[in-house]
């Protein structure tokens, strides 16, 4: 399948390992990712507090770029991009006056969004139908019962009225992927809680408590690693993990993988190619457990 | 239907401790709510089980409790719906409150926070007092309609992630209540309200996790109204807090280059020198790990993004 690809700022900035591992995985799975190199940031819910007309214009422009390439599905690899672009798309599609006004901001740049695009996180793409079957068939290194704690976080699940792909109370897309790879999904209370990242600058102590609490919950439920579909969650869960340990007074030492990296390991891609050494918390135990 | 297992949190204030769970089995009928079952337990099995209830119609907000890990009204939650997901039904008191007994909590902190946000209308003192009531149009009322439907059940406060991590946070109910007035066409105390709300524990401490919006039984959507309060604060040039600077730095970065400069934003948003210095070790480690690009590159064709930014946001 051919998809328009919107990597988002973080995969192009502070999480380059996510960007590279996604391309490696796509290559193995025979998915063609056509990157929208001229696309802008989604606003991440931060800019939306100041000017939603502007963020809607940026988002419509991104969708127009996909349409211009003849593509109807924009794949994201960030829960925050998904969480803000998906609802914006719904409004653009449902409200023709709104779409016309937003398009009037784009016309000088030669873009028009016709409303023919769907935006879909890679986690959703891989968790269903043919792509899931394809994934199952291409597993080379079965995860061998590895206990993986899926960390959904917030933006890809809530609020239901804006997203609605799966029930935030009982999400299952990551569990389906983990099972397809031969791993064992760990169920724990904090899997749909916030990682704390949105207020890491505003209230670091509170943010670290959120990070620590979620990782501790995964650890107490015997997880060998945490996997997340969101690079912002990854930043807090990985690079702030040491600080979170101090804040909650508990040892964590919990490897945190991007979803693309976990999939990549099972597809037989090396830890080096998946850039696992870029993480602050070592993933070596996960790599040896899988035998990659 | 059949026999359903209820696991109920019990805490006896006389003996104290951390509490425990007690199991009850209830013969449930189709259409039974959690509250119906609690009443059966109290009436037929154990009169000591304690909980709040009143209207049984999702109006009074008394019977909010954590049902299978999420806060809901016991009177409007059907047992059959829960059994589609859960094998047994766990009942716990509201989170983020001290427990008085079993499923009853002390709401003092909740009301203190409501009182702290000036929960009353402050009309313009310079305007003559009208002979009748102060009128507003249906459109003006629409702005505050959602927040006006709050029934004070505390479901949002119970499931609030930020409050769980920091008890100074005003939390969704009080902030939504604040918007009830700050968003009202007849109120003239915007600046006074917002001056308080931009301080520590206010609007910028919300993580936007939407737990509050998700659990609210009345669709008040507190998270969305907290964001509207942020917009109001920025429109009133309240730009000194880290939260406001986070937004402004973000806007400028994306408006200029099309993508966020993640290295620059924290240093712009945080003005406190000590806080800036405390970020350095992580920054250095990120750089050494190849996670902090030295040079931020604009996207190809950034001029188009700058044009849109200029049109919609000004210079």
Q: Is the pLDDT of residue A292 over 80?
A: no
Structure confidence at residue B16 (pLDDT)? 80
Q: Three-state SS for A69?
A: coil
Check residue A189 and report its DSSP letter: G
What global pTM score does this model have?
A: 0.96
Q: Average of pLDDT values for A242-267?
A: 98
List residues bridging with A267 in a β-sheet: none
Taking CA–CA distances from B267, the nearest residue in chain A reads: A201
Which positions ≥6 away from A182 have C-beta within 8 Å? A139, A142, A143, A144, A145, A146, A266
Kindly determine whether residue B254 and residue A43, on different chains, have CB atoms separated by under 8 Å.
yes
Q: Identify all chain A residues contacting B241, using CB atoms and an 8 Å cutoff.
A: 202
Q: Could you report the per-residue pLDDT of A45-102, keeping only the tens digit for each? A: 999 999 999 999 999 999 999 999 999 999 999 999 999 999 999 999 999 999 999 9
Q: Which residues of B touch A213 (CB under 8 A)?
A: 164-165
Lowest mean pLDDT among A114-128, B217-231, B260-274: B260-274
The 10s digit of each residue's pLDDT in B76-131 is: 999 999 999 999 999 999 999 999 999 999 999 999 999 999 999 999 999 898 99
Chain B interface test: which of A203, A211, A234, A274 (most B C-beta within 10 Å):
A203
Please indicate whether, in this complex, the C-beta atoms of A280 and B285 are within 8 angstroms of each other. yes
Class of domain B108-235: mainly alpha
Give the domain A2-123 fold.
Answer: Glutathione S-transferase Yfyf (Class Pi); Chain A, domain 2 (1.20.1050)
Cis, peptide link before residue B45, omega less than 30° from 0: no
Read off the pLDDT band of A263 (50, 70, 90).
very high
Residue B218 has pLDDT above 80, yes or no: yes
| Average pLDDT, integer, range B245-262 | 96
Smallest CA–CA separation between A94 and chain B, in Å? 20
Check: CATH 3.10.20.30 for B3-105?
A: yes
A244's CB contacts (< 8 A; 6+ apart) are A208, A209, A211, A212, A215, A236, A252
State residue A204's pLDDT score: 96
pLDDT band at B315, cuts 50/70/90?
low
**Across the interface, do A50 and B259 touch by the CB < 8 Å criterion?**
no
pLDDT given at position A145? 96
Domain boundaries, chain B: 3-105, 108-235, 242-313
Query: In this predicted structure, what is the pLDDT of residue B228?
Result: 97
Mean pLDDT throughout B227-238?
Answer: 97
Measured between beta carbons, which residues in chain B are less than 8 angstroms from residue A107? none
Give me chain A's average pLDDT, please. Answer: 97
* Low-confidence winner among A103-107, A185-189, B133-137 (lowest mean pLDDT): B133-137
Q: Does residue B28 register a pLDDT over 80?
A: yes
Q: For A132-290, which CATH class?
A: alpha beta
The alpha carbon of B301 is separated from its chain's Cα centroid by a whole number of angstroms, namely: 39
């Amino acid at each position: 399948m051919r998809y328009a690809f919107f990597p988002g700022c973080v995969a192009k900035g502070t999480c380059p390992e996510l960007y590279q591992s996604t391309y490696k995985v796509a290559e193995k799975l025979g998915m063609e990712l056509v990157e929208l190199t001229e696309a802008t940031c989604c606003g991440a819910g931060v800019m939306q507090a100041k000017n939603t007309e502007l963020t809607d214009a940026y988002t419509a422009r991104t969708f127009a770029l996909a349409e211009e390439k003849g593509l109807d599905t924009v794949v994201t690899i960030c829960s925050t991009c998904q969480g803000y672009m998906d609802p914006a798309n719904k409004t653009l599609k449902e409200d023709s006056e709104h779409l016309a006004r937003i398009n009037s901001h784009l016309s000088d740049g030669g873009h028009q969004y016709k409303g023919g695009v769907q935006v879909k996180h890679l986690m959703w793409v891989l968790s269903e139908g043919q792509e899931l079957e394809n994934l199952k068939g291409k597993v080379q290194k079965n995860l061998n019962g590895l206990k993986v704690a899926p960390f959904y976080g917030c933006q890809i699940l809530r609020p239901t009225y804006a997203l609605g792909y799966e029930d935030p109370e009982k999400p299952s897309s990551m569990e389906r992927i983990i099972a397809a790879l031969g791993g064992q999904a760990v169920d724990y209370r904090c899997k749909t809680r916030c990682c704390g990242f949105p207020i890491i600058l505003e209230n670091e102590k509170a943010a670290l408590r959120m990070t620590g609490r979620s990782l501790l919950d995964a650890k107490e439920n015997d997880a060998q690693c945490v996997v997340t579909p969101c690079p912002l969650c990854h930043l807090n869960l990985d690079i702030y993990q040491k600080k979170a340990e101090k804040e909650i007074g508990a040892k964590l030492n919990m490897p945190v993988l991007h979803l693309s990296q976990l999939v990549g390991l099972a597809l037989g891609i090396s830890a080096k190619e998946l850039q696992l050494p870029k993480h602050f918390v070592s993933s070596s135990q996960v790599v040896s457990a899988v035998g990659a | 239907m059949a026999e359903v297992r209820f696991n109920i949190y019990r805490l006896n204030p006389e003996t104290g401790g951390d509490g425990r769970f007690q199991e009850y089995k209830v013969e449930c009928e189709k259409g039974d709510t959690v509250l119906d079952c609690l009443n059966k337990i109290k009436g037929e099995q154990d009169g000591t089980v304690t909980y709040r209830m009143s209207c049984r119609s999702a109006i009074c907000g008394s019977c909010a409790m954590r049902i299978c890990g999420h806060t809901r009204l016991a009177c409007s939650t059907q047992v059959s719906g829960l059994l589609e997901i859960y094998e047994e039904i766990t009942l716990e008191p509201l989170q983020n409150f001290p427990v008085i007994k079993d499923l009853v909590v002390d709401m003092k902190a909740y009301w203190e926070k409501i009182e702290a946000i000036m929960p009353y209308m402050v009309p313009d003192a310079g305007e003559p007092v009208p002979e009748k009531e102060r009128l507003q149009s249906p459109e003006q009322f629409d702005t505050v309609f959602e927040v006006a439907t709050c029934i004070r059940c505390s479901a949002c406060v119970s499931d609030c992630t930020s409050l769980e991590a920091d008890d100074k946070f005003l939390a969704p109910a009080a902030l939504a209540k604040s918007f009830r007035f700050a968003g009202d066409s007849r109120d003239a105390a915007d600046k006074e309200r917002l001056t308080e709300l931009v301080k520590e524990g206010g609007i910028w401490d919300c993580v936007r996790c939407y737990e509050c919006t998700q659990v609210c039984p009345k669709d008040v959507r507190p998270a969305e109204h907290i964001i509207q309060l942020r917009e109001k604060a920025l429109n009133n040039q309240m730009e000194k807090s880290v939260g406001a600077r986070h937004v402004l730095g973000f806007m400028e970065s994306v408006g200029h280059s099309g993508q966020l400069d993640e290295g620059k934003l924290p240093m712009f948003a945080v003005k406190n020198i000590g806080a800036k210095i405390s970020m350095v070790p992580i920054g250095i480690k990120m750089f050494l790990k190849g996670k902090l690009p030295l040079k931020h590159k604009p996207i190809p064709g950034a001029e188009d993004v700058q044009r849109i930014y200029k049109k919609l946001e000004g210079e």
